[in-house]
Amino acid sequence: MNNINKNKLELNSCPINTQIGLSIATSPFLFSFIALEFLTHTLIEVGSSWEEVFRGDRLPELSSPEDDTNNNIA
């Protein structure tokens, strides 16, 4: 009988430890979730910015090597 009472006592103290562990684990999870959302938004913005930088109407026209050889022959 004494062992049964010990097991009940251990089971009753377990939910308190579980609640503390869960509350401690929640903060890093929420922080990582917010950081991941911020990172995703930032990478999308950076991608859009780079797309504007490399858009074709703002790049200089480059001469190809074939044009250089034709100009030297003529």
SS3 68: helix
Q: Residue 16: its pLDDT value, please?
A: 66
- Report how far residue 50's alpha carbon sits from residue 47's, in angstroms, rounded to the nearest whole number: 5
Q: Residue 65: its pLDDT value, please?
A: 77
- Report how far residue 5's alpha carbon sits from residue 13's, in angstroms, rounded to the nearest whole number: 13
- Report how far residue 73's alpha carbon sits from residue 28's, in angstroms, rounded to the nearest whole number: 69
pLDDT in tens, the chain (74 residues): 555 555 555 555 566 688 888 888 899 999 999 999 999 999 999 999 888 877 766 667 777 777 656 666 55
Q: Residue 72: its pLDDT value, please?
A: 60
Rounded alpha-carbon distances, angstroms, from residue 8 to 11, 14, 17, 49: 5, 10, 15, 62
Sorted by where each begins, the domain ranges of the chain are 2-54
Q: Residue 64: its pLDDT value, please?
A: 77
Q: Residue 62: its pLDDT value, please?
A: 75
